[in-house]
Amino acid sequence: MTDSADSPSNAQAYSVSELAFALKRTLEDAYGFVRLRGELSKVTHHASGHVYLTLKDDKAAIDGVVWKGSVRGLSVRPEQGLEVIVTGRITTFPAGSRYQIVIETMEAAGVGALLAQLERLKQKLAAEGLFAAERKQRLPAMPATIGVITSPTGAVIRDILHRIRDRWPCRVVVWPVVVQGDAAAGQVAAAIRGFNAMEPGGAVPRPDILIVARGGGSVEDLWAFNDEALARAVAEGTIPLISAVGHETDTTLIDFVSDRRAPTPTAAAEMATPVLAELKGLISDYDRRLNQCGGRAIETRRERLTALSRGLPRPADILAMARQRLDYAASHLTMGLRRNVDLQARRLDQIAAPLRPALLSGRRDQLSARLDQLSLRLNAALPRKLEADRLRLASLDKLRLTLNPKRPPRPGFVLVTRPDGSTIPRGGDLSAGEVVRLMFEDATREAVIDGASATAASPTPAQRPAPKKPSSPPAGQGDLF
């Protein structure tokens, strides 16, 4: 018989969770750092920022995850079919009983993979119309300010400045950036957006044209200029841009999006600027040709004027005909005036024949009699009219004196005013303690209104005396109305 201590039924039973997390710790301890090479498939960019994928070769596959914090540091963008080399640690997903790799770094497995990724990105941007010829802008003929985006320490900037100085001396604004490495694409894109955001007339002049330049190098060295975000920044810009990245045989994604591509940085400076000496020579040639054309035009018109003048009659002949017509008209003018005077004299005699002094004197006597009648009527009516108007004016003057509130009071009347001279028509307009001025016929006094109620001071109906009959006004006092 077997010992009961060795019986399987007495072995410690693990829970599923304990076993799963024990395996997880074992794998993480044993494979805390691994480096894998394989092809990406089932790449999913989650809304949370994490990337889920599968790394496979021809015989096996392993799930992988790139956490949100590590996605920004990847040197390549995870895409379907891309061959990469990743580093990370092996762990398990206990809820699904499967293992996976948590990826921390990712790089392309070789140049072929990079070019394949670039080709897919080119097809994507071309389908969006970013490479279309109709969206490319024309370069300005004579720029006043040129913006250069490149490394400030390399030979590229010296070549560009030297070439611009020889051809077209103008203002050059340099935006320093790194042109290689992981930070290059972001800095170049930020420089392009910064130049486009400048306002005209600011402290730093807004460039009329931009040049993005870098010297030659390998595909890996120039890979920063194949960045999708950089290509979109170039496409969104409103300032014309020349791409001068690498040598003539080098091609990057920015070359397809830019408005012009230059084979070298020096060639970009030549594209952006005219030759000042050539422009001066061209202007001189235009000036010479303009003078020659003007001289020929004047000479041609002089010859045409001479030819046309031969067909014109002589001035003496033209004046002779006019002088003859004048002499003929002058000879007939005296006779015509005399005949006209005789004709008008005969017409005057015909009109004056019926006129007699008796006709005029009769009409005069008739109008004189009518004038005498009108004078008699006027002389009779005018005094009555004047007397009536005089009486009416005297009545209105009396009424004016009666209604004038500023007139001196008559005996028995008082004019109440405020110190400022305004008249107080009613007792209700006064308040207790107010100072008033009382104007009598012979003097003026000041008084202060007390606080007693006018209603209390007035007699009751039972105590009110019977109204007196109005007495006739004194002989010297006129009626108020």
Output the six-digit token pair for 34. Answer: 């691994």
Q: Residue 103's closest CA among 147, 74, 64?
A: 64
Structure confidence at residue 111 as a pLDDT band (50, 70, 90) = low
Q: Are 140 and 209 in contact (CB under 8 A)?
A: yes
pTM confidence score = 0.47
Domain extents in the chain: 16-109, 144-274, 279-319, 407-447
Q: Tokens 């400045």 belong to which residue?
A: 161
pLDDT on residue 460? 42
pLDDT for residue 335 = 82
pLDDT digits (tens, 9 = 90+) for 230-257: 999 999 999 999 999 988 888 899 999 9
Identity of the amino acid at 8: P
170-203 per-residue burial string, b: 16 or more CB within 10 A, e: under 16: bebbbbebbbbeeebbbbbbebbeebbebeeeee
Q: For strands 209-214 and 145-150, give the pairing.
A: parallel
Q: Are the beta carbons of 67 and 101 closer than 8 angstroms?
A: no
Place of tokens 């005296």: 334
Q: What is the dihedral of CA 301, 306, 312, 318, to 10 degrees?
A: 100
Neighbours of 222 (CB within 10 A): 22
Is the model's pLDDT at 12 over the cut of 80? no
* Helix, strand, coil fractions of the chain, as percent rounded to 5: 45, 20, 35
**Confidence tier at 1 by pLDDT (50, 70, 90):** very low
Of residues 431 and 129, more confidently modeled: 129
Query: Mean pLDDT throughout 413-429?
Result: 81
Q: For residue 79, give the H/E element and its range.
A: none
Using a pLDDT cut of 70, give the percent of the chain over it.
89
- The CATH code of domain 16-109 reads 2.40.50.140
According to CATH, the topology of domain 144-274 is: Rossmann fold (3.40.50)
Separation in Å, CA 345 to CA 333, 340, 366, 443? 19, 9, 33, 92
Buried b or exposed e, range 240-251, using 16+ CB within 10 angstroms:
bbbbbbbeeebb
Report d(CA 238, CA 254) in Å as an integer: 15
Please report which confidence band the pLDDT of residue 406 belongs to, taking 50, 70 and 90 as the band edges.
Answer: low
Q: Do 105 and 66 contact (CB within 8 A), yes or no? A: no
Angle at 175 between CA 174 and CA 178, to 5 degrees: 120
Rounded-to-integer distance, Cα 165 and Cα 268, Å:
14
**Rounded-to-integer distance, Cα 145 and Cα 201, Å:** 12
Q: Which pLDDT does position 454 carry in this prediction?
A: 47
